[in-house]
Structures are given as structure tokens and as C-alpha cells.
Amino acid sequence: MPWSRNTSWKQGSILASKNFQAIGLPPYCPYPLAMVVSHDCDIANDRLDVEPFVEFIMARSIAEQNGNYTNGKNPRILHLSYKCQKDDIFLEVLASDKFTVEKSILENIQPDETYKMISSHQVLQSWLAARYRRHALPNSLVDRLREVFKYIEKEGKKKSDGVLFFRLSYEPMDELPPEEAYELWLSVIYMTDQDEYCDMAEQLATGLKKEFPKLLKKTQDFGSVDLRQCEAFSEMDFTVRDLRDTVEYHLEHLSYRTEPPGLVIE
């Protein structure tokens, strides 16, 4: 049957391992499922000269989700909520593990309808885009904030369920010699789903503000950073303008440096 705009394949659809051989994959893989990540409009396009492929990402079922990998906090790993028949489950996907399948091959295969995505498609789409748009920090700023980032990693992971993301802005945007200071603004954005998330985020921001001078002292040979703000904001209060004026800090961030490797926080 030719590819149709009424195809059953949608973003988030699951390809079962029993169909792996039909698309050229080995039947047994470390990640025994594959999830569609192409946009619904691209999938539905029946002009195969324009949109000949559907993109997939490898996936696997996990016992429980890790808050560090929900809501797109980590650009390499994402945990999503799914329904498998009547059971609530979680799937893990890796950003680097993508592949494409020709629609002409996929048209004779049906998605595994026992899996239904519960997580927001917007979370998946934002996470996919973040791999290409995440901001690289100047080396001289990374060197000065190395211990601060370690603190954010340690404490942020403890409160990962309620924290949506960290946002920062800094001036100037360029590399600086050690004798010149950066100015830094930090924001901890928390979800409003549960009341305790507010306290968690405020404790994180307060603790970071308190520890900042001691953490910075450990890297003082690289220069100074003037912390102008470190506050917690709810997802309702953090505005679109705030988003435009800041960059997202993932718990895994690279500087511009390539040799030696820049800082990576996982």
C-alpha cells in the first residue's frame, strides 16, 4: 500500500523489535525499541521526493525515571512517561542513537499500539532541538565557575524532580583575562505542580548564593565572577523576555574549548 497521509505512524509511535529485521536492524539490540521522532507533518507528507524518511531514536523500558533526565534537563538522555497497555512505564532514549527508515519500507509495518506516550510532545521536541542550540560558555568563565558547576550538579540532582531548568546570563560575552571580572545572573526555575517544589528551588538558590564566594575562591587564580542575582522563579513567573535574555544551563555543559576537552557535567 502506498504511503498515505492517514498513516498510523506519529511522533512518539513505537517500533517493536520484532520488526527490526524488516528495516535492516539486528533483532537483538541493547535498546530493544525504537521511537518515532519525526514531526507529524513530515511523517504525513506523502510526497516521498520531498520527505522520503521517518526518523527514529532507540529506546528502552526502565524501572523508574531519573529526575535528572526528565523535562529535557540533559541534552543527551531523556526519560519519558508511557502507557503500555494498562501499565504506566518509562522509556529512556539517547540523542545520539538516531536512524532513518524509508517510508516505502515502513508503509508495510504498523506501530506497536500497546505503547502510548503520556509525556508532552513539546518536551520531546524541545529536547531534540536542545542538542543543536545549547549554548557554549567562554573558557575563561567555565574555568572560574568550575566548582560552582559541581555544586549545581550535586545539589541540582537532589532536587531534580521539581526543578525545570537553570538559566543564566553573563557579561561580557567574550573571553576575559584573569584581572577582569564577569557579572553573572543565575535563575532556578521550578514547576508549580506541587507546593514543595517552591521550597526546594528556593533552598537551592539560597544555598548556592551562600556557598558562591567559597566555591569561587577555589578557582581564584582564573579570575573573579560578580554574582549579581541567584533567585528561584516559578514557571509561571519566568517570562518569555527572561527566556530571551538568558541561556539554559544543562547539567552537562561544554565550553568553546576543544583541546583539551571543555568542562562536561553529567
CB-based contacts of 213, cutoff 8 Å, min separation 6: none
* Average pLDDT of the chain, as a whole number: 87
First to last CA, the chain: 46
Residue whose cell numbers read 581564584: 220
- pLDDT for 264: 38
Cell reading at 262: 571543555
Q: Answer whether 247's CB lies under 8 Å from 167's CB.
A: yes
Total residue count of the chain as it appears in this document:
266
Chain CA centroid to CA 75, Å = 4
Q: Give pLDDT tens digits for 126-156.
A: 888 877 766 678 999 999 999 999 898 888 8
Q: Residue 208 is inside which H or E element, if any? A: helix 196-217
Q: Please compute the mean of the pLDDT values over residues 230-239 and round it to a whole number.
A: 94
**Three-class SS state of 240:** helix
Q: Give pLDDT tens digits for 96-105.
A: 899 999 999 9
Q: Please compute the mean of the pLDDT values over residues 151-174 and round it to a whole number.
A: 85
Eight-class DSSP state of 30: S
- pLDDT for 74: 83
Domain residue limits, the chain: 14-132, 139-249
Residue 17: name the closest of 60, 46, 66, 51 by CA: 60
- pLDDT for 256: 41
- pLDDT for 247: 85
Burial readout 248-257 (b: 16 or more C-beta within 10 A, e: otherwise): bbbbbbbbeb
- pLDDT for 133: 66
Q: What is the CATH number of domain 139-249?
A: 3.30.300
Chain CA centroid to CA 229, Å = 24
**Three-class SS state of 124:** helix
For residue 255, what pLDDT band results from cuts at 50, 70 and 90? very low
- pLDDT for 262: 38
- pLDDT for 135: 66
| Lowest mean per-residue pLDDT among 138-142, 215-219, 229-233, 261-265 | 261-265
